[in-house]
Chain A
Amino acid sequence: MASGPGPTQDIEFTLNGKPVSRTASSRMLLIHFLRDELGLRGPKIGCDTGHCGACTVSYNGKTIKSCMALAVQADGAEIDTVESLAGESGDLDELQESFRENHGLQCGYCTSGVLMSAKFLLERNEKPTAEEIREAIHGNLCRCTGYVNIVKAISGAAHGDEGLALVERLNREHAKEVSA
């Protein structure tokens, strides 16, 4: 459970490029620590079993679900959340901008987690196919968008202007495969 009585541990880690040193309750989940103790709003909570992905953050360069880690496991780690995307100026980064242009979000509740998964994908695969994008975000549930515009937004960020054309092309190929 979240917090409460019981043992604590001192932890030090890097959060969005800045050092953090705190005392954490040993039983506290990382997501609760980030939200309730450090006041972040980016990582969200949508389930109790690690299946929704709303809490996705980057942990030493890999995405993890922060509801599936304890706060004390942050000790010594580098953690990035969606708050790290927009620059110092507060301007949306390319990925975020592509989500805005392509209506890749509706209620916005899943968005922080989706963005972190998309970022992780694009760092490893600059030009992903639609199928690879779907694979990469399949741990992030979105109930509003039917995923169509999320895929389009990530494609748009990866392939620039070709992004949308790519989605269109995939549409056609799909249709062709069906008629083949």
Chain B
Amino acid sequence: MTAPAKEQTTTTTWTGQSLPRKEDERLLKAQGSFVDDEGMYRQGYAQFVRSPYAHAKILSVDVSKAEALPGVIATLTGDEVKAMTEPLFQFAPKEDGSQVNEYLLGVDIARYQGEGVALVLAETRGIAADAADLVEVEYEPLPVVTDGVAAAEPDAYVLHDSLGDNIAWKGLFDWGDIDWALENADHILKIDKLHFHRYSSTPIECNAVIVNWDPGTDMIRVVSNNQFPMFGALVIGPSMGVGTDQFDFVSQDIGGGFGIKINSYTSIGVLALLSRKAGRPVKWIETRTEHHQSGGHGNERTFLDIEVPVMADGTMLGFKMRAFDDAGAYLHYEPLGAVIWSQVVPGPYKFKHVQVDYTETLTNKCPAVPNRGYSRMQHLWFVERVIDLVAQELELDPVEVRKLNYVQPEDYPYTTPNGCVYDSGDLPQALDMVLEMIDYEGAKKLKADREGSGKRIGIGIGTTLDSGTNNFGQSRILNPELPFSGNGEACTALLDLYGEVMLKLGTNPQGQGHETTASQVAADILGMSPETIRVWTGFDKSHSTYIGFSGTYASQFAVTGINAVIGAVEKLKAEIIEVAAYAFEVEQDQVELVNGDARIIGNPEAAIPFIGIANMVFANNATLPHEMAERVSLTCRHVYVPPFELPDVEKKYGNLTLTYSTQTHAAVVEVDEETGKVEILDYAVVDDCGKRINPMVVEGQVHGATGLGIGAALKETFEYDEDGQLLNSNFLFYHAATAMDVPNIKTSHIESPSPFTGTGAKGMGEGGGAPLHTISAAIQNAIGPGKAIVSDSHNPPERVWRMLNWDGPAEERGVTVVSNGDGA
């Protein structure tokens, strides 16, 4: 870790206030601009033809009947795409160069149900749908691989011949000395298997793209709701043989993203090819069924052969396990998930000895993509499951075991076994607060009272971390040759011709309120009201400012985005003051900015409004010294770069993330013994994301992450049958949490400022999947010791009922304790 960033000179009149959002008026009045609200002149409507099989050879694709339908403009097949493009860039080919060959459309083999194999373009949505039905595809079904662990077996059917097996990436993570810990621990907890399930935050707005490949200029204008377009450009540009300079990415309002909307870059690419072929703009709005089958799912992870060395008092020394991530049929953003979990190796705890034998496999399922809490929450759920089982099996108090193992307030900045630096926090206090919020003592009494009533009470705790602003250098752990490291964001602050203040961001938010928070910090620097600052909405590559990392993902706006704003606005302020000081004929330190005027300090009469400053620079520049007139632009760009170094790829060691917000959740649930149904009686959250720029927005993010986590814990899952058919292709079968499923969520907070971010703010918003940890713990608590353990992150009534009614032999409970004194 390099030295903390220098102190900022901002005052904080507006920063820290719960201002209502700038975005809201237009959204409430339906004046937002989502992709489906837009269109291009002469556009046609695209429809994908998708594989009904999870795995099948594509023997032939016949588009003749579709093309004959009146109103059809063009079609595109996988073979055509193969002829005009290269396979997509892969992050981590094997040492011998073998890798997954993926094209922008299915070629030769369809590898998951819903994979696109052809496209049609027609004058209307209806004709496009009819025409897609007329495309005749001949398939020859192939064996289907749906189990992410079995996929790694040597005899598993191989999805990608070019890869040779189904292993997308494999590596051993080994920190501390696990053998020593296992030898010297008082007890070893052995857990057979834990499984984190597949689900998605399923934004209500599905993916959507309007693209025009202009035949005259060769420019490709993409209006979409992709949330990380720069990443998309970097991947599809080389495949399509076009420069990133040809892409103009535009997004305005986005109807939820949660990471899932990073995934649409392949669709963008192939729709662009269709536009070029047709010579017309192409509009595509994904249907809900398509979104569930092919829009992207969160990672599913299986943990096997877990061994946990523990001391008699509950001090955990570490763990050893094998982990398998199921990436689905293609690697979209993956295998980055194979290292991203290592931002939070010990979770919130201090243990030092960890060994993870990690494998990521390919299966005949929808590609896994980042989903709120990406890759870390799977691991954090695992860690919380382990700590809870340690407490249960050693008959210790789960609160005390947590407190004993937590990183303590005085330990910060705390370096984890793999070199990550936890910046700040106060976990014991957060735990005390959250327990008070659920009336822990009262809940325990209720639990005792309800015994024997047929309704069992369970109390669960989930402590988790939201690591924000990641160091892309961690991708080199996958592949040392990768030219990625660091992170950052850009902002341009400017005065327009009449002195109006404008900000242009590199981000493209999906409801996180960037227009509001950016204007709050800018307002403090410029001494004016946020209302008078225009933040350009959305993102447009042709006029927004950006770097390769620009986008809205990975809990980082409060750090990267806001620091870019601060840097740009500070530069603008300096220029305004320089021009004003020249006009006043005073030193620059004699000038202050107040309510849109530059004034001589102590003399409010001597004021030049910003319009006057803008006039001198933009339209009256003979009044300025020539050197100043050419240098001062009142258009000030700043790129914030967090202080990162390259990790040691051999040891898989280094600081992978700048900030760590903490979330401490607690729940009281009631479990119906007859049905296994779980009802949440009380739910509370203590969030600590350092300095909060807009507490109301922060709380909204806490609610949202909690709501999605509760849904995932109890209602939401993507399940495939043995033929690889998705059983939850729409909201009828995918039970997205409703207002009846999510209880009132009580929130409170601690502010432990980050020493590394200048402002003290930390990234937040993903929430670390805490409700999954919490509800698993609460169900475990309701079931009690001696029964089967909660080994899955998803617990519908049937699964809970089975656990309640489990009466197998003790050694099949899923957990055993071996004491080292017992000669183990």
Contacts and interface: CB of A to CB of B under 8 A. Distances in A.
Interface string A33-55: 00110001110111111011010
Contacts of B743: 174
A3 interface: yes
A137 interface: yes
A150 B70 CA distance: 47
A166 B28 CA distance: 24
Contact of B27 (A40, A105, A139, A140): A105
A82 B23 CA distance: 17
A100 B739 contact: no
A88 interface: no
Contact of B732 (A46, A49, A108): A49
A170 B124 contact: no
Nearest to B27: A108
B283 to A, nearest CB: 11
A100 B699 CA distance: 14
Contacts of A82: 29-30
B31 interface: yes
Interface in A40-72: 40-42, 44-49, 51-52, 54
Interface string A9-43: 00000000000000001011000100110001110
B744 interface: yes
Interface string B289-317: 10000000000000000000000000000
Contacts of B443: 178-179
B704 A143 contact: yes
Given A49-B731, A107-B255, A137-B739, A148 B289 contact: no
A141 B731 contact: yes
Contact of A107 (B37, B129, B203, B705): B203
A110 interface: yes
A146 interface: yes
Nearest to A141: B736
A108 B32 contact: yes
B28 A111 contact: yes
A135 to B, nearest CB: 7
B225 to A, nearest CB: 10
A37 to B, nearest CB: 11
B708 A143 contact: yes
B116 interface: no
Contact of B740 (A85, A135, A143, A148): A135
B764 to A, nearest CB: 14
Given A134-B740, A141-B731, A174-B681, A2 B126 contact: yes
B206 interface: yes
A107 B288 contact: no
Contact of A147 (B71, B258, B285, B707): B707
B254 A3 contact: no
B202 interface: yes
A79 interface: no
Nearest to A54: B204
Contacts of B682: 174-175, 178
Contacts of A27: 126
Interface in B215-235: none
B408 interface: no
B158 to A, nearest CB: 35
A143 B736 contact: yes
A5 interface: yes
A46 B255 CA distance: 10
Interface in B337-358: none
Interface in A103-137: 103, 105-112, 115, 130, 133-135, 137
B707 A145 contact: yes
Nearest to B130: A4
A83 interface: yes
B739 A151 contact: yes
Given A2-B124, A47-B731, A52-B731, A108 B253 contact: yes
A175 to B, nearest CB: 5
B696 A103 contact: yes
Contacts, number: 230
B746 interface: yes
A107 B254 CA distance: 6
B30 A112 contact: yes
Contacts of B36: 35, 44-45
A47 B288 contact: yes
Interface string B657-701: 000000000001000000000000110000000000000110110
Given A3-B126, A41-B30, A144-B511, A174 B744 contact: yes
Interface in B102-119: none
B207 to A, nearest CB: 12
B126 A1 contact: yes
Given A51-B731, A96-B29, A109-B256, A143 B288 contact: no
Interface string B730-765: 111000101110111110000000000000000000
B744 A109 contact: no
Nearest to B36: A45
B30 A42 contact: yes
Interface residues of B, number: 75
A47 B285 CA distance: 11
B512 A115 contact: no
Contacts of B696: 103
B445 interface: yes
Contacts of A141: 204, 731, 736, 738
A138 interface: yes
A92 B668 contact: no
A178 B204 contact: no
B510 interface: yes
Contact of B739 (A35, A40, A150, A171): A150
Given A48-B288, A108-B27, A143 B202 contact: yes
B703 A145 contact: yes
A177 interface: yes
B442 A179 contact: yes
A17 to B, nearest CB: 16
Contacts of B510: 106-107
A86 B730 CA distance: 33
B173 interface: no
A150 B704 CA distance: 11
A180 B439 CA distance: 11
A145 B704 contact: yes
Contact of B288 (A4, A49, A140, A145): A49
B730 A51 contact: yes
B28 A178 contact: no
Nearest to B668: A178
Interface string B521-550: 000000000000000000000000000000
Interface in B6-42: 20-21, 23-25, 27-32, 34, 36-37
B262 interface: no
Contacts of A92: 25, 28-29
Contact of B34 (A52, A109, A137): A109
A7 interface: no
Interface string B79-121: 0000000000000000000000000000000000000000000
Given A3-B126, A109-B256, A146 B204 contact: no
B446 interface: yes
B706 interface: yes
B485 interface: no
A1 B704 contact: no
A142 B511 CA distance: 12
Which interface residue of A35, A47, A138 has the most chain B CB atoms within 10 A? A47
Contacts of A86: 28-29
A51 B202 CA distance: 13
**Would you list the 7 A-B pairs with minimal beta carbon distance, nearest first?**
A146-B707, A179-B442, A4-B126, A109-B255, A108-B27, A106-B511, A107-B511
Given A51-B730, A81-B30, A147-B739, 8 more contacts: A41-B31, A46-B205, A48-B287, A103-B700, A108-B253, A115-B28, A145-B703, A178-B443
11 contacts: A1-B129, A5-B70, A5-B127, A81-B30, A100-B24, A106-B510, A106-B511, A107-B510, A130-B744, A143-B736, A151-B739
